[in-house]
Amino acid sequence: MASNTPQNGRIVALVFLAIGLALILGGTFDLPDHLPDGVFYVLVGVVLLLGAGVLFWLKRGTDG
């Protein structure tokens, strides 16, 4: 896999964005017992959205 192509960072960011949105909107994973319903999805989704934003911003800065 060519890791230095300009589109790879954007593709990873879009994958993180899609997974994050799917988790925030709901999923089929078992929730940990100590968290209220939906909190786990929102936390993981927010982390993935932030990761997507950072990756996109970093690639945007290096691509010009």
pLDDT, tens digit, 9 for 90 and up, residues 27-59: 555 555 666 767 777 777 788 788 777 777 776
- Flag whether pLDDT at 62 surpasses 50: yes
**Predicted local confidence at residue 31, as pLDDT:** 56
- Flag whether pLDDT at 2 surpasses 60: no
d(CA 22, CA 46): 11
Q: 57: Cβ–Cβ under 8 A, 6 or more apart, which residues?
A: none
Residue 1: pLDDT band (50, 70, 90) is very low
d(CA 41, CA 26): 7
**Predicted local confidence at residue 27, as pLDDT:** 58
Of the candidates 46, 49, 63, 64, the residue with the CA atom closest to the CA atom of residue 6: 63
